[in-house]
């Protein structure tokens, strides 16, 4: 079963933990009242209930009260640990705590002092959690990268093993800091913008049922080389429209050959190629990004309109950057195996699907410890375990990244019963109120002709 957490370190948002602690406090108060009543009755009804019976029940009540009170304390302690972890990570990465954080840099000392003499230190425990994630986040990824290549393990003395080489590669890439997109980031203009084409069909009647679940969004991501962007238009009784955009992943990593590392215009047919991938990962507009924006405009979307988005791989990176730029009001984002993780605003419910042995998703690095979006944002994780059968077959290395496997992960999330996933279901259920649904499929490219 997959894991569902607020982020890569913080499993549950601290507001929920403190809310649960408050509910436990009510139970403690009721047990306290029961204890007091039993003590008062200890000698008041000596015939109906002997002193020993009443005293025994009072003892049980006070023991239960203390245990329940301990649960409330544990919930608050966990909340303090998570808030400290969030603040420590922000301070280390950005030089300051998040603006909405309860645990600012100054408050970390107060949290530490609060537990002085108790044998517990939430700040130290928070740092330990961050260190563990930073050290071990790529364990499954590196196991994948070496499992299918046993013939490479017989290295000459003094040379690095495949695992060590993989470790160095991912350490180098993630050290650049591109894997996590900070709040308020903007894409730089492309210094060598190339031509792109967005061929959009005329809007047609869409299927009767709007997307209801995470899996619905994943299933609607195009899986046809001649359709790589789909836009739905949901029109409501009051006349306002909400849009849903679905973007396919990279279609040709090697068509140009230089991955945009050399100057000059890109060659080839596909816009969703390695060049656009490298542009976007390096926080520069790529042709694929501009072409997807055009597909939205072709469907009638205007700045400020409400949008729901889903994408796979490069498509997920495009959706996250569009949500970050703020041209449209993105309410939900479903990111499938994104090579980045954007820290979106409070208004966006952000669902990330990631297999820990997916080398493309691994480009996001250790990720954000807490929620990368508004309330209810989660990361859904699992290990794909592709089961390499042909040593040296590099196609199997990338198998965990395939969209089909992520469809299964999305279905697992929907069936989990997790209240945050249920909250996502409730959010998109509003689309049921639309009285008209239309859809337009687009083919984005560099040349206008399918490959």
Residue-wise pLDDT tens digits, 13-41: 888 899 998 888 888 777 777 767 766 76
Task: Please state, in angstroms and as integers, the Cα–Cα distance from residue 405 to each residue in 114, 400, 411, following that order.
Answer: 46, 7, 10
Q: Please count the other Cβ atoms lying within 10 Å of the Cβ belonging to residue 421.
A: 22
pLDDT of residue 147: 53
User: Does residue 197 contact residue 448 with C-beta atoms inside 8 Å?
Assistant: yes
Q: Which residue has the higher pLDDT, 172 or 9?
A: 9
Beta-strand relationship, 229-235 and 241-247:
antiparallel
Name, of 55-64, 130-139, 155-164, the range with top average pLDDT: 130-139
pLDDT at 259: 46
- Ranges 58-72, 259-273, 425-439, most confident: 425-439
Backbone angles phi, psi at 75, to 5 degrees: -65, -45
What residues contact 411, with CB distance under 8 A and at least 6 apart?
A: 215
Q: Give the pLDDT confidence of 60-81 residue by residue, as tens digits.
A: 766 777 787 788 889 999 999 9
- At 132 the three-state DSSP class reads helix
> Is pLDDT above 90 for 180?
yes
202-214 mean pLDDT? 91
Alpha carbon 227 to chain centroid distance?
26
**In whole angstroms, what is the distance from residue 54 CA to residue 352 CA?**
55
Helix 51-94 vs helix 122-136: angle between axes, to the nearest 10 degrees?
Answer: 60
pLDDT of 362 higher than 70: yes
Q: How confident is the model at residue 151 (pLDDT cuts 50, 70, 90)?
A: very low
Is 262 or 173 the better-scoring residue by pLDDT? Answer: 173
Distance CA 71, CA 64 (A): 11
Which DSSP symbol is given to 89?
H
Residue 233 has pLDDT above 90, yes or no: yes
Give the containing element (helix H, strand E) for 355.
Answer: strand 349-355
């Amino acid at each position: 079963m997959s894991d569902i957490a607020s982020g890569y370190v913080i499993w549950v948002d601290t507001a929920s933990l403190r809310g649960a602690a408050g509910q436990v406090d009510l139970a403690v108060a009721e047990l306290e009242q029961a204890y007091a009543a039993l003590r008062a009755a200890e000698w008041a009804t000596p015939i109906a209930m002997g002193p020993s019976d009443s005293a025994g029940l009072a003892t049980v009540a006070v023991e239960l009260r203390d245990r329940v009170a301990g649960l409330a304390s544990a919930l608050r302690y966990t909340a303090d640990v998570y808030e400290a972890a969030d603040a420590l990570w922000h301070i280390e990465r950005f030089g300051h705590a998040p603006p909405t954080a309860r645990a600012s840099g100054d408050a970390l000392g107060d949290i530490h002092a609060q537990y002085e003499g108790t044998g517990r230190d939430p700040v130290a425990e928070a740092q330990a959690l961050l260190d563990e994630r930073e050290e071990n986040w790529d364990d499954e990824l590196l196991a994948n990268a070496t499992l299918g290549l046993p013939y490479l393990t017989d290295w000459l003395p003094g040379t690095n093993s495949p695992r060590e080489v993989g470790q160095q590669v991912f350490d180098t890439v993630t050290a650049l800091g591109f894997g996590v997109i900070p709040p308020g980031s903007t894409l730089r203009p492309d210094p060598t913008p190339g031509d792109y084409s967005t061929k959009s069909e005329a809007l047609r009647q869409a299927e009767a049922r709007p997307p209801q679940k995470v899996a619905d969004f994943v299933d609607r991501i195009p899986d046809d080389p001649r359709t790589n962007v789909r836009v739905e238009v949901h029109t409501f009784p009051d006349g306002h429209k909400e849009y849903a955009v679905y973007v396919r992943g990279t279609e040709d990593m090697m068509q140009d050959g230089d991955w945009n590392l050399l100057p000059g215009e890109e060659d080839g047919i596909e816009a969703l190629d390695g060049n656009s991938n490298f542009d976007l990962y390096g926080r520069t507009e790529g042709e694929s990004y501009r072409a997807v924006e055009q597909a939205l405009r072709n469907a009638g979307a205007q700045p400020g309109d409400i949008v729901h988005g889903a994408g796979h791989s490069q498509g997920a990176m495009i959706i996250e950057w569009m949500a970050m730029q703020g041209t449209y009001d993105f309410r939900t984002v479903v990111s499938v195996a994104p090579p980045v993780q954007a820290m979106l605003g409070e208004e966006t419910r952000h669902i990330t699907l990631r297999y820990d042995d997916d080398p493309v998703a691994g480009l996001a690095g250790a990720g954000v410890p807490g929620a990368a979006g508004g309330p209810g944002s989660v990361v859904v994780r699992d290990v794909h375990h592709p089961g390499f059968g042909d040593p040296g077959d590099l196609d199997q290395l990338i198998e965990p990244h395939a969209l089909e496997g992520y469809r299964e992960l999305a279905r697992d999330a929907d069936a989990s019963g997790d209240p945050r996933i249920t909250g996502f279901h409730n959010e998109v259920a509003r689309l049921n109120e639309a009285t008209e649904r239309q859809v337009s499929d687009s083919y984005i490219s560099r040349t206008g002709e399918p490959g």
